[in-house]
Every structure is written in structure tokens, then in C-alpha cells.
Amino acid sequence: MVVKSKSSYTFNFNDMKKFIIKIVVFIIPIILIFGFVELSNRKNNTFYAKKNHIEQHSDSIEVLILGSSQIWRSINPEFLSFPVAPLAHGGGSFNIDYLLFKKYISEFPKLKVVLLEASYHTFEDYRDKSWRKNHLFYIFYGINNYQGEVPLKERLLVTANPKQYIKRLWTSSIFPEFGEFNKFGFITSSSSSLEETHDSLNHLIVMHNSENLNYYKKNIRLLKEIAIICQEKNIEIVLFSPPKYYTYNKNNNLKKLERRNFIFNNYINNQGFYIWNYEKMYQYDKSIFYNHNHLNVSGAKLLTIELDLKLKQIIQTNKNNNLKKIE
């Protein structure tokens, strides 16, 4: 039987103590760096700006705006004369809009109108659990699009995409949400006019012309559910497709466009529904487009001022109808 001496135990303990100290010395700076990166990114983005705005005005919001970047870049709430929840996002899809609708519909007691994007591509887009922006919607809105438990690494910005958020400390982000924006989360840096480059147009054609009947059917069901809830709550719905440049419009997939137009025709005579198709409005005015399918800051101002008048009319109509029901 071999008996270990007291000195060997002391040696092992001291070695272990040194090892632990080295680990702590190594880990603490990493934790501090990650913490700094996380805090630096948490408030300097459009998600935070939008969340902060709607939390401060939830009791008075009358219009909820949902959609992708085509809506986000088209409507600048700065030029609206009523309280609004601007929840359109870059890369968004109809199933993401549905999740946001379900999240906030009960938090806006004075809501009168839900404006939903109904662009050419809207109803055949879908974001699944692998979408690179899912973590942003979870972190800022509590929206779970993972179809299950939220992965641990997706619960912080810095762990969801370490390279991107660390890099953003000294350079621009791949996400425009971390660029220049106003208090409503509207991007204010897209002031330049369209340059008709074939590369950017070809990319859009490939991306937006792809067909997916499965997604179409899923999104139709989601639209029907939104319609039922809004009808129960006496809320008006606007299906809106913002302006696109003519180069984008002329390259539409006609079968896909026909399916979208079927939705318009199906709802056009429904009470409480408004169909606003602005796709070809301003389509030859290059000066108001940032690219082939997004308005620039000047174009957004022009459009928002026009929409303000139309939305105010719907809000007033809604208020009048609700008064009649009370009487």
C-alpha cells in the first residue's frame, strides 16, 4: 500500500489553485468584452427604438403597421398625424407579421387600423426557425419563431452572431437596423437616388419571382385569422403594396402576381377591408427610389403625407361606426 505524503497533496492543491486562477484570469476579460458588446448593441438599433416607442404610446396607438422593408422604407411615422406602431422590418414575412399582430393586438386598446403589406412577393415568403434575424425578434419583442424551445445561444445578441456584433463596434453592420434612424426606427440614411444596376435587379428577380404554393396557402390561412380577429374587435384592415420602380414591376412573375391579385379581389368588397395597390404609382420617378423596390427618404415623405390623409379618414370612419353600434 502506497501512502501519499502531505507534501504531494499540498503540491496538487497548489497546482489546482494556480490552474483555476489562470482560467478566471482568462475568462473574466472575455465576459467583460462580451458584456460590453451586448450592451453597446442593445439600444443602438431600430428594434429598440420601435419597442421603446410603442411601450411609451401603447395606450394611444391607433394604427399598427406590419410588413417587410418595402413598407418600412415607405412609411416615415414622423409625417403621420396620429399615434402609430411602426412594426415593419427588413426581411420580414407574413408569418412574422402574424406573430407580431398576435403579440400586440391586445396591447393597443385604441387600435383602429392594421396596415398589412400585400406586395407582389408577400404571400409566398416565409421565415422558418433558421432565419438569421429570429434572435432579434425574440430579444426585443419576445417573439418565438423557432417552432420550439429558443436555443440558448439565440438569447443574446453577442452569442447569436458574435462576429457580426463585435465587428459592428468599429464598422457598419450587415443589418440596416443598426444604421441611422429616427425615434420611430425609420431608416434616415437612404437619401440617394436609384442607380439602375442590372446586378441588383437580377438578384431581386431571382429572389422575388420564386414560387411557393405551400407558403401561399399557409399565409392565406394566417390572413383569414387576422381578418376574423379584427372583425371581432371592430378594427379596419388595409392591404397595402407600396410603390416599386418600373424595372421591378415589368419583371414580375405573372402567375405569382395573379395569385396575389386573387387575394385583392377576394377581399375588395369585404366590409372593413381596404385595398391600396400603389405598385405602379411613381414608378417612373427615379428620384424618389433608393433601389428598384424601395423608396428613399424623399419618396417615403411624399408617400407618408398622402397616406396620412387616407388613414385619418379610415380612423374617423371606424370611430363613427363604433359610436353607432354603441347607440
Note the pLDDT tens digit of each residue in 55-104: 999 999 999 999 999 999 999 999 999 999 999 999 999 999 999 999 99
Asked if residue 17 belongs to a domain, the reply is: no
Residues with Cβ within 8 Å of 129's Cβ and at least 6 positions away in sequence, in order, are 145, 146, 147, 148
Give the pLDDT band of residue 31 (cuts 50, 70, 90). confident
pLDDT of residue 25 exceeding 80, the answer is no
Backbone angles phi, psi at 144, to 5 degrees: -105, 105
In a domain, 158, yes or no: yes
Residue/partner pairs of 98-105 with CB below 8 Å, 24 or more apart: 98/222, 98/225, 98/226, 99/137, 99/143, 99/144, 99/145, 100/66, 100/137, 100/141, 100/143, 101/64, 101/66, 101/226, 101/229, 103/141, 103/142, 103/143, 104/54, 104/64, 105/64, 105/229, 105/233
Q: What is the dihedral of CA 230, 236, 239, 243, to 10 degrees?
A: -140
Phi-psi region of 212 (alpha: psi -120 to 50; beta: other; left: phi over 0): beta
For 225-284, write each residue's pLDDT tens digit. Answer: 999 999 999 999 999 999 999 999 999 999 999 999 999 999 998 989 999 999 999 999
Q: How confident is the model at residue 192 (pLDDT cuts 50, 70, 90)?
A: confident
Burial tier of 171 (Cβ tally within 10 Å: 0-12, 13-18, 19+): exposed
- Name 274's bridge partners: 238
Tens-digit pLDDT profile for residues 156-169: 999 999 888 888 87
Written as nine digits, the cell of 75 is: 412609411
In a domain, 213, yes or no: yes
15 in a domain, yes or no?
no
pLDDT at position 235 is: 97
Contacts of 26 (CB under 8 A, 6+ apart): none
Q: Is residue 29 part of a domain?
A: no
CATH, residue 51: 3.40.50.1110
> Is 27 part of a structural domain of the chain?
no
Q: Is 182 left (phi over 0), alpha (psi -120 to 50) or beta?
A: beta
Domain count, the chain: 1
The DSSP bridge partners found for residue 113 are: 63, 236
Segments forming the whole domain that contains residue 299? 34-326
- Cα R_g (the chain), whole angstroms: 25
Q: Is pLDDT of 43 > 80? A: yes
Which of 87, 119, 91 has the alpha carbon at shortest distance from 101? 87
From CA 41, how far away is CA 178, in angstroms rounded?
Answer: 8
The DSSP-derived string for 21-82 is HHHHHHHHHHHHHHHHHHHHHHSSSHHHHHHHHHHHHTTT--EEEEESHHHHTT--GGG-SS
Instruction: Provide the pLDDT confidence category of residue 8 given band limits of 50, 70 and 90.
Output: low
C-alpha span between 80 and 310 (Å, rounded): 11
Is 184 among the domain residues?
yes
Residue 9 maps to a domain? no
